[in-house]
Structure 1
Amino acid sequence: MLNFIFALVFGALTLMGLGSWFGWLQGVTQIETPVRLMPDLRSRITWARGKGPILVEVAGTPFAGLGEAAVAKRVLDLLDGVPAGLAITWTGDPAEAGDPAYRLRLVFNPQGGDSAAVCGETAGGVAADGGVRLLAGFCESGRTLIFTRGRLGRVTGPDDRRFAELVRLTARGLMAMN
């Protein structure tokens, strides 16, 4: 709800031509409430994590001069211990995954607009404003089970604490079984 209010206020300020005065607000991490597309999500996540490490698939890079493999390694480092309380291990290697059909997919600066299609979405390039848009979902084969979107303005690089917050909060929101 707070993100909605923030977006509404910032949008109004921008329309009034005052958005640039409050440009520092653009650095705030915004993550939408995850949308479940499958009613038995809890049992699927439990089953997948019981089979072994869950595959993490990263598409795109939000940072100029940094390749997708380097971003994927950073994301895997950030996911260690996320979400707290669930014994989930992550891998970037399909051969090491307990069942590679189940995967956490993170698409940086996605090209398309259909969030429910995150499991097949293509990534875009580096955003001109230096920000990061993230479309993430938990997938079973090509089907999206749950997804969310996040946004971050003016990120300095993969070691920026706000980038870490975006990745961790997104994964926690998708995988927490509340």
Structure 2
Amino acid sequence: MGKKVEVQPVKIGIDTTVQVRLTEFGWSLYEDYLSTHKRPKTVNGYLTMPLATLMNIFGTQLSTLPYDERFSVFVDNEIIYNMPNLLVSRLAEQVESAYHANQQKKLEKWAKRMRSFKAGDKVSTTVGGNRDVVCTYVGLIHHMGSEAHEIKSENGRTCIVDFFELDYAK
């Protein structure tokens, strides 16, 4: 049995703006209705108008059955209604939420690893320093409003490095 496809209801009011591409026959109906031979501006060939106006101009032609391509009003027999797709929006929100949750887990895992150094551990600085320099870890301290590491180099000099700059020595 296949996966059930969720259906999204569409509500269109008579004042809703729609877009259509008219065939030559459609243009002749439009020009007859408005008693003009001047065609309005289109965007990429699409004419934009309220649905009520569209139904007033083309309604009688649209009700004739069966469909006859020779008397088709719209190109590809389509009326376009630009609407927000709620299903796509919900899916995008779910993906974004999952992404942020995953990023939060990575951050927590990283922070836990950065706090896992113990006094006496051998560490090396990974940013702005040579990884070959092995230091002894002293402790996690607060420095300039954030957490930082205090390390002691082999020559006995104590340094403070940013939270992300240490790695276990190899």
Fold match (TM-score > 0.5): no
Instruction: Report which structure shows greater RCO (CA 8 Å, sep ≥6).
Output: 1
What TM-score do the two structures reach when normalised by structure 1? 0.17
TM-score by length of 2: 0.18
